[in-house]
Structure 1
């Protein structure tokens, strides 16, 4: 059975920089899987990707020698089971705020006796180049479990969450974390850059203390390199959508054409 090289690299302390796939396109996925990123995450939380298309995207990524991951809509057993049975080699679980939520997500990704993932499906083993029997035997060791810290509550519970057996990495969604921090600021404003950075550094330190890799989403190459130098490991570089829009915007500006609107938010 094929091993999960991203999981092994993270365990060895090596940064792994990938990107997000938010376009519901197998065509685009086939090309992105050959660019050179070690992993690609199919975003099923904030995109219109359906289950069948996701399965084809996982297959396209794996067949190119890249590691397919899936960000599920939430940490429910049925969502986690479906993406893993569809061939994802790991999960990214959003909004994990408590130890109980973390334990439930981990259990859903692991077969008994470690967890409570149900046995079934027909294509999950294909992306590991394995027979079904070998997949059931080794999947618990190879599936990558990434939990997201996206709120002050999640940060408060970070020491306990990050120390749980079965947590392979932590991932910060900066936008959600910043928005959730509005609940603790005067007039519901964004936190100051200094307060936000302090929160990020608190997460990084919690990961180092627990011995669990942590990562975050960035939008520039410079930020990716800087964060890796700080010790962040599981780093997402923008998305295929943002890369496409950024390059198209650069071309429009170079040609001195009138842009239709501000697409920086993508």
Structure 2
């Protein structure tokens, strides 16, 4: 008989359980060796970036394997919040997603639907073929898959800041992450992340989260 498995706790669960700020690092080299070194550094989370770094599905999968032996929460940032891409990263076993460029509560709600199975969402069902369910060795995965996924969305534009309260209140959004570089650019302050108006927008987003 195949063994039955349980999945690691999510980034959101760790956030809720912690009495301190969680410290993390970004792994942008596309290397499973680098990812494993970083995973063993003592940080709480490591983000694998596929938006601005040379990462694709295969390299992210290799890095998830390399990090799986360590007590660290791996996050994955896809290039953008596409439903098909989200499905693929989830099926690889990425439990914690950081979705860039989320500008409205409506967009956030669509991303939530992308990470959930019907009837609550539109995620395609392929658990028997997917590492996410450990090839159906996670007991009852389909019925509780949403409990094994953590969703963080990025606030990176003036439009997002204007709607940040509704984005934060969207059911299924676990956390916000502010991207100051794109935010500054959208406000007309390209390369000026420390401009007072940008700092004020960042603080407004933090307060909403």
- TM band (smaller chain): 0.7 to 0.9
Contact 2:11 2:73 in 1 (8 A): yes
Kindly report which structure 2 residues correspond to 1:73-84, keeping only aligned pairs within 5 A, or say none.
73-84=79-90
* Offset at residue 109 of structure 1 (A): 0.9
2:32 match: 26
Aligned counterparts of 2:175 and 2:95: Cα–Cα separation in 1: 14
* Structure 2 residue matching 1:170: 3-state secondary structure: strand
1:169 match: 175
2:166 match: 160
Aligned counterparts of 1:65 and 1:96: Cα–Cα separation in 2: 29
**What's the TM-score once normalised by structure 2's chain length?**
0.87
Select the structure with the greater relative contact order (CA < 8 A; seq sep ≥ 6): 1
Where does the alignment leave 5 or more consecutive residues of structure 1 unmatched?
208-266
Kindly report which structure 2 residues correspond to 1:1-266, keeping only aligned pairs within 5 A, or say none.
1-12=6-17, 14=19, 15-120=21-126, 121-126=129-134, 131-182=137-188, 190=192, 193-207=195-209
Contact 2:193 2:199 in 1 (8 A): no
Change (3 A) 1:143 1:5: closer
Report the more deviating stretch, 29-38 or 87-96. Answer: 29-38
Contact 2:10 2:96 in 1 (8 A): no
**What's the TM-score once normalised by structure 1's chain length?**
0.70
Change (3 A) 1:134 1:61: farther
* Offset at residue 97 of structure 1 (A): 0.3
Deviating above 3 A after TM superposition, structure 1's stretches of 4 or more consecutive aligned residues are 188-192
> What is the root-mean-square deviation of aligned Cα atoms in Å?
2.1
2:3 match: none
* Offset at residue 117 of structure 1 (A): 1.0
Aligned counterparts of 1:12 and 1:189: Cα–Cα separation in 2: 36
Contact 2:25 2:38 in 1 (8 A): no
Aligned counterparts of 1:28 and 1:90: Cα–Cα separation in 2: 19
* Offset at residue 88 of structure 1 (A): 0.8
Where does the alignment leave 5 or more consecutive residues of structure 2 unmatched?
1-5
* Offset at residue 13 of structure 1 (A): 6.1
Aligned counterparts of 2:123 and 2:139: Cα–Cα separation in 1: 15
Query: Between Structure 1 and Structure 2, whose CA radius of gyration is higher?
Result: 1
Structure with the larger helix share: 1
- Number of equivalent positions: 201
Which digits, 9 at most, give the CA deviation of each residue in 1:22-55, with x for residues without a partner?
A: 1011111111111112211110111111211111
Aligned counterparts of 2:10 and 2:101: Cα–Cα separation in 1: 26
* Offset at residue 92 of structure 1 (A): 0.5
Aligned counterparts of 1:74 and 1:67: Cα–Cα separation in 2: 21
* Structure 1 residue matching 2:23: 3-state secondary structure: strand
Contact 2:180 2:193 in 1 (8 A): no
